[in-house]
Structure formats: structure tokens, C-alpha cells
Amino acid sequence: MAMALSVFVLIVLVGFELAHGSTLAMRTFGWRFLISSDWDPVNEKFGAVPFIFGTLVSSAIGLLIAVPLSIATAVYLTELAPLWLRQPLTIFIELLAAVPSVILGLWGIFVMVPWLRGHLFPVLQQGLGFIPLFQGPIFGPSVLAGGIIVAIMILPIITSVSREILRSVPGLQREAAFALGATRWEVTRIAVLSYARKGLFGAVILGLGRALGETMAVTMVIGNSPQMVKSLFAPGYTLASVVANEFSEATTDTYVSALFEIGLVLLGVTVLVNALAQLLLKTFAGPAGGSPR
Amino acid sequence: MTATNHQWRKAKNVLMQTIACVCAVLVILPLLLVFFHLVSQGASSINWAFFVELPKPVGELGGGMANAIAGTFLLITLASLVGVPVGVLGGVFLSEYSHHRLNWWIRFTADVINGVPSIIWGMVVYALIVVPMKGFSTLAGGVVLGLIMIPLIMRTTEEVLQLVPNGYREAALALGVSQWRMITQIVVRTAMKGIVTGVLLAVARIAGETAPLLFTAFGNAYWTRHLTEPIAALPLQIFNYAISPYDDWHRQAWAGALVLILLVSTINIGVRVLTRDRFSQRSA
């Protein structure tokens, strides 16, 4: 009993310690912390906006890339792929989920970023240069690189949760549509996807939660510079990576406390997003159903 | 008219199937690329010295990650000491003692905690253990990984216990066995394989965690003699070497990453092979 209640202890503990750690910053900066974009540890000026901005942008890019890919893959795995191929593909996706973030970051630094800088970014700039997002000098480590790494990190989780959701769609739904003479794609669209809409949305939100908190891989490729530039080719910074980079080097109490407050912001956002995702998934599976992980 | 409409529908069907297939390939692609580069870059740097020697200072070639490999195993052990009892007992409670509303909340909270970024746990343990003890320590590193394991193990344990047929429980109770003995000797024993699977998957997950160790275990270039000293860990070492400017360290980082991913994938694949019958049953 006590052991099961430990989860409540954990959540309270997390909230309390972070809030406790950030009291100094809260008292010093008040709400300005959340609207100021200065991050100048030397002069003890701290504002979280560049990090919130970077987190949102990289997560948005991640979702834009990952959502269509992973839902299409989940559809392929449950509806279209030949039966003998489904099991191996699923195992591959679970292996991708198991790749530690730091290894993906290592690969990102030495393989992906040079490739992006040399091949993909120039092409993007030529093709889409009229949009301000794709203008400006090309750095290797950039918000876009961070977004792509985030996409790779959240692909497996969205895919596997969506797969569980699609599998729980009753076979009768499909048979009814087939009986009306629908093609395989029409069955998928009409009978499966629209039926599972809510659950799939839950899967996407769950992916968003992971994207917001993704730390190591993003830290290694995003460039770590607290600025807000319109160009996706410019380096940025996220909430999680500023903590990872600066926490053990923070020298003054205010600095440490400001980082704690960053952690608190991150915690608040991820808890809200995850709670929303779980509610969506649980109501889809029915109150008694096991929640897909 | 109807004929062309029919052809159009068929063409669209083929098109969408192709798109879905291409997407599946794109999802698998990063995995294949990562493995390919890990093997091509890392394999050449793996030798005997890598497993038995300490890291060399900058400028000297060679050296290994013996302390980091040992550190990772020690941290996993410590974390399991924290995470396994709490997680398994919590899962037993969730599955066997039903308080419907309360259990809903516990499940919900555990799932939400699962999504809390691991770096946040690092900050919490920093405030909780590192600051009072006035220093980074092995203990703090073990505790933080243990905390991350708790909700993972709790949920998997509960799920496998739910698979134990109710008839077993009823049969035991009908023989006059107390509820606690019924749970430990019948239910848990039946589901043992599943519980172990859950624990191993949690181990595989924390083995690669880096962010929470940055300011708890911290890393160490030498052997750790005491639980109150900082300790090296494979993921930490990979991170530090990867962001360093030295080519020789980059090579070591690739080698370390290869060792780490082999460890993690072996656990993952091993677990899947062991539990294959259960999985095929479910997908049938």
C-alpha cells in the first residue's frame, strides 16, 4: 500500500523541491522571469523566454515531422503490411525507442549535422528561401537540427501508442466498410482513422510531452545559444538543455535558483501535457481498459 | 463515369498504401543509420584496453573506459535496490487490492510521472541528496535512476499480474490460504517471468540515461572507492567525450556508444525472445 502511494510522494517531492529551489529567483524576478528575454548570468539577469521559445519551436518541428510519419507507419503496421512483416517491424521500432538519447546525440553531432549543413540546408534555402524561416546564414547546429532529432526521438512512442490504438478498433468496423465495397484505403480512412481519432490525438500529445522534455540529444545539436532568431538555421536553446549545460557550472545562488525555476516551468508544462494525453488515451480505451504505454 | 471513378479509387488506394510503406521505411531508417555508423566508427576503437584501462589525460592516446563501464553496472545495481522493491510492491498493490478510485489516481499519477523529463529528477535529487551531503556522489546517481524506475516497474508489474487467471486466486483462497500468501506464492510466482521482463526493460531504459546523472553522479576520471564519491558512467563519458574537441576522445565516444547500445539492445532483444509466446498470443 505504502509502496503504491509512493507515486504521490514522488510527484509532491518533485514539485516541492523545485519550488523550494526557485523561491529566490521568484522573489528576485517575479513574473518578469517568464516575460524577459535577457539571459546574462554575469550580470545576474535571468529571463526564460528564449528557452521557452526554443523548446516550443523545436517541439513543433519535431511534431510536424513525426506525426504524419508515425501515424502512417502505425496504419501500415496494423492495416496494410503483410502479416509476416509486422512483428519484425514492430521490434525494430521498439529498438529505436530504446536507443539512448546520448547516442542519438552523438550520431547527430558527427553524422547528421554535417550532412544537414552540407546537403539538406542549402537545398532547403534554395527552394524555400523566400520564406523568412529559411533565410540567413547556415550554421550546422541549429533549431532545425534540434527539431529533426526530436522527431527521431518521438517517432517510436507515437508509432507504438498509435498502433495499440488502431489495434483496439473493433474488426466489425472494418468488415462493415469492406462489405460496402470500400477499398483498403477507404476502410482505413472511414472506419479506422475516424473511429480512433481521439486516441490518436492522445498519442500525439504524449509525443509532445516527450518532445518538450527531450534533453541530451537536443542539447548536443541545437547549438545552445539563448537567442530568438526567425531563421531555423540559427542555433537556439531549450529549457531542458540550459539546465543540462549550466546547472553544474552555476556559480551564484540566483543563477542556481533561476535554473530551478526553469526546471519548474518545464515540470509544469510536461505534467499538464502528459495528464491531458493520459486522459485522452484512458477515455478512449474505456475506464477499465489497460492504458497503452 | 463509374468505371473511371472506380479506377480513381483503386489508384488512390495503391497510392496511399505506397505512402504508408515509405513512411514505415523512413521511421526505420534512423535506426539503421545509427547502428551502421556506430559499428563503422566504434568497432575499430574497441580493444582489450578499452575494457580494462582508465581514461588517459588529454594528449595521450589510448586508455579505456573501465571505470565508466563498472560505474554503469554499479549505478544500475543501486537503482534496482531502490526501484525494484517499491515498483514491484506498488504494482502488486495496484493489481491485487482494489480501491477503485484510489487505484485510478495512482495509475494516472504513475503514467504522468513517467513523462516527466529525466533531467528534472536530476535536479530534485541534487537538492535532496547532493546539497545536504555537500558533494556529487554515487549514492545520488543510484537514487535518481531508482526513482525513474519506480513508475515504469509499477505499471509493467501490474499489467502482468492482471494476466494471472482469477481462478488461481480463487482456488488458493478456497484452500484457506491467507491473502498475502496467496499473492506471494501463487500470483507473483505465476507472473514471475513477466515481472522480471518489466524490471529488465526498466534497467535497459536507465542504463542509457544521461541527463539525471550530470549533476548527481557527475563522472569521475578514476576509480570510485566510496559511495560518497562521484562516479563515472558510460552515458556520461560518451557525452563528455562527444562534446570535447579531441579526435581521440571522439573515437572513444563512438566505442563507448557501441558498447552501451549493445548492452541495451541485448537486454531488449533477450527479453523479447524470452517472452515471445506471450506476445504472439496477444497479437493472434
pLDDT above 90 covers what percent of chain A?
Answer: 40
For residues B3 and B266, which has the higher predicted lDDT (pLDDT)?
Answer: B266
Helix extents (H) in A171-292: 171-179, 184-186, 197-213, 216-221, 239-246, 253-285
Q: Is residue A291 in some structural domain?
A: no
pLDDT of residue A3: 64
Q: What is the pLDDT of residue A59?
A: 95
pLDDT for residue B3: 67
Residue B237 lies in a domain: yes
Measured in angstroms, the CA of A230 and the nearest CA of chain B are apart by: 26
- Indicate whether B156 belongs to any domain: yes
Instruction: Name which of A56-60, B43-47, B70-74 the model is least confident about.
Output: B43-47
> Is the pLDDT reported for residue A200 higher than 90?
yes
Q: Which residues of chain A does B235 touch, with a Cβ-Cβ cutoff of 8 Å?
A: 100, 102, 216
Look at residue B156 in the predicted model and tell me its pLDDT: 92
Whether B269 is covered by a domain: the verdict is yes
pLDDT for residue A170: 87
Identify whether B283 is part of a domain.
no
**Nearest-by-Cβ selection for B34 from A81, A107, A209:** A107
Residue A218 covered by a domain: yes
Which residues of chain B make contact with A185, given a CB cutoff of 8 A?
A: 12-13, 16-17
> How much is the average pLDDT of A107-115?
93
For chain B, the first-to-last Cα distance in angstroms comes to 42
pTM of the model: 0.89
Interchain pair B110, A282: CB under 8 A: no
If pLDDT is split at 50, 70 and 90, which confidence band does A288 have?
very low
Cβ contact, residue pair A266, B117, below 8 Å: yes
- Residue numbers in A near B91 (CB within 8 A): 4
Quote the domain boundaries for residue B136: 69-273
Could you tell me if residue B89 is inside a domain? yes
The number of folded domains in chain B is 1
Of A156-170, B87-101, B248-262, the one with minimum mean pLDDT is B87-101
pLDDT in tens, B28-46: 999 999 999 999 988 888 8
Residue B64 domain flag: no
Nearest to A10 among B23, B150, B239 (CB): B150
**Maximum pairwise Cα distance, chain A:** 71
> What would you measure as the largest C-alpha separation in chain B, in angstroms?
82
CATH code assigned at A182? 1.10.3720.10
- Please give the residue of chain A at the shortest CA–CA distance from B91: A4
pLDDT of residue A88: 87
pLDDT at residue B278 greater than cutoff 60: no
Angle at B47 between CA B45 and CA B53, to 5 degrees: 100
Stretch A245-256: mean pLDDT: 85
Q: Give mean pLDDT, residues B97-107.
A: 80
Structural domain count of chain A: 1
Q: What is the pLDDT of residue A2?
A: 61
Domain of A131, in residue numbers: 12-285
Residue B208 forms part of a structural domain: yes
Cβ <8 Å between B90 and A7:
yes
In this predicted structure, what is the pLDDT of residue A293? 39
- Could you tell me if residue A5 is inside a domain? no
Residue B63 falls inside a structural domain: no
Average pLDDT over residues B151-177: 90
Segment among A197-206, B18-27, B50-59, B195-204 with least mean pLDDT: B50-59
ipTM for the predicted complex comes to 0.88
Helices (H), chain A: 2-29, 32-35, 49-75, 83-98, 101-107, 113-115, 121-128, 143-167, 171-179, 184-186, 197-213, 216-221, 239-246, 253-285
Chain B positions touching A89 (Cβ under 8 A) are: 24, 28
Q: Classify B97 as helix, strand or coil.
A: coil
- Would you say residue A43 lies in a domain? yes
Tell me, yes or no, whether A21 lies in a domain: yes
- pLDDT for A287 beyond 70: no
**CB-based contact, A209 to chain B, within 8 Å:** yes
Whole-number Å distance between alpha carbons of A125 and A142: 14
Q: What is the reported pLDDT for A62?
A: 95
B-contacting residues of A 78-117, CB under 8 Å?
80-81, 86-87, 89, 91-96, 98-107, 109-111
Of B98 and A90, the one with more pLDDT: A90
Sign of CA dihedral A245, B152, B125, A44: positive
Is the CB of residue A13 less than 8 Å away from at least one CB of chain B? yes
CATH code, B83: 1.10.3720.10
Share of chain B above pLDDT 70, in %: 95
Rounded to an integer, the average pLDDT of B42-58 is: 84
